[in-house]
Structure 1
Amino acid sequence: MGGVLRIHFSDRDFRHVQLARSADPVWEAFLGLHVLATSLSRLPRRLHPWRRRALQRLRDDDLRAASRLLRDLAPADAAYFPDFLTPAESQEGMAAALRTLRGTPGARLSREMRRAARYRTLPGWTRRLASGDRALLDQVADAVLHFHTRLIAPDWSEVEATVAADRERRMEALEGGMAAMLETLTPFAWRDPVLTAPYPVDADLHLLGRGVRLVPSYFCHTAPIALADPSLPPVVVYPVRCGPRADGTAVPHADALAALLGTGRARVLGALAIGFTTGSIAVRLGMPASTVSGHLKVLRDAGLVHSERDGAHVIHRLTSRGRHLLRPP
């Protein structure tokens, strides 16, 4: 990876920075596809269990075919893959994203497939797609849905919990101003007024007063990814910061916390650096949901956890006292 992505800000851009509230289902599907093409030695440990499970599921012929079709369009080592594959409407959910993908205008298909061909040799079947073959475009949309349903959705609570924890960290940093928040984005470096990061090629993204939508990703694990077409609303996908260790504790003084709170409650408290629903914490820690619920009640009564209903779910977050307790002495 010998290039650099440079994102150029103006004063007006700071007023239009958006931090996505949740994971993006389409981006996670394509980035999960890239994880499958990456060796375990090059992946963060948190992705190892998912990759092993996904490879087991890929024994299914239909899923393998869907993965092969998507890999032809967006391989892990591509310096560019077509922007139409990740429409902005995906922030509204998979259904909205697939409607937009299926309706991609023929001129855009042709333009973006020609651009992809400048970077690598494309499989012969993609010429039909570039010519506007709607049935083939439907197959691409179906493949995205099939891949997401079979390989991403089963772990979606983990994805959402990790992204929610990352967003909370960014929002805390935002108390120091937008520049302070940008300085927390790994692997970016902020040098006013330019945000830079390693990238497959040298690229400049001039925001021109439009701001930028920052999308945290569970499966993005190396460089961030930006939409290539400068006429599209700027979107940059970046890797989430690593969460707690796999055993559910988030700090080196876990033994001291366990002595203070009890092992179970200490693990639940540590998991809240990532988990935010009772079910997601239970899955991560391998505990019964009823046990997690009991620990949460004690932690809530002690002022370490705050719980509130959000639609069908109850969301649990650390209070400032809880975050303070988790910090190493």
Structure 2
Amino acid sequence: MLRRRFIAAGASASALASFGVRAQQVTRLLVGATPGGGTDIVARALAQELTTRLGHQFIVENRPGAAGNIAALAVAKAPTDGSTLLLSYTSHAINASLYPSLPFDPQKDFTPLAGIASLPAILIARPTLPANDVRELIALAKREPGKLNVAIAGMGSANHLAGEMLKRDAGIDIVGVPYKGTGPAIADVVAGQIDLAFAGVATVQQLVKAKRLKALGVTSEKRLAAFPDVPAVAEVLPGYAYSSWYGLFGPAQMPAPLVARIADAARAALGSELMRARFRDEGLVPMGTGPDEFGAFVRSQGLLTLFKGSRSSPEPAHQGA
């Protein structure tokens, strides 16, 4: 029995080595955001599952700044042996539209491994806004063009894009006000200093239930189970749908067997009851797409022109954390 265990352990180590992953290796999972946020939460849940499934340690390393570009650059320059990976989010595809001189190519310098999760948003409003749903909001914005404002919790974020899509599809003029984080943006909507914001479900659901915010619509194609009385924006603007997303990347030119091994482990991790429960608590929807499908998805997300000509205040309205 003991001999068979040694043989099995040796075979496992050999298999890992053949894929460019040493059994004793530690894989750094870089996150371009601060600890405690949505990206960090997804990364830590995934790292725990990958450690179990691939037989070596995955550790999360936070490198916030520049809308995720600092972490992305480190991975773009990393070895192709699976020792450094990136858990990125929507801005990975958007940043090329916002930063004309990126030090890397968001598509050519990375290997897409797996789509991990998506997160619909809720369009919320200050409690005193004289509109109770998207239809009334559009009518109000058309009566008073340029007078309403919407908080942007991070330039280039998914919530920023959701707001630009709403303005484009509805043909309305609402001024974007950049913030440095979701917390201060939502706080100002609650306080009535800002009219509107898009936010993740988990971030605002308690405030909505306590009637400290109005929920005008959700960005998913259909109504959310957690808010059955809140209509989807698509009920007023057919075809409107947007969710932020989280995905796993490696540097370009990773060996195909290694790509398959990591991608399979990531998708299997999404079947873990512990991970699915964590995602439900955060309002996340598992994606589970593999390298080809996820790569095509990222390319489609990069074809953005919505930010050109958008009206935004030049400086953040609030610097708080």
TM range (shorter): under 0.3
TM-score relative to the length of structure 1: 0.24
More contact order relative to length (CA 8 Å, sep ≥ 6):
2
Q: If each structure's helix is expressed as a fraction of its own residues, which one has the higher value? A: 1
Q: If each structure's strand is expressed as a fraction of its own residues, which one has the higher value? A: 2
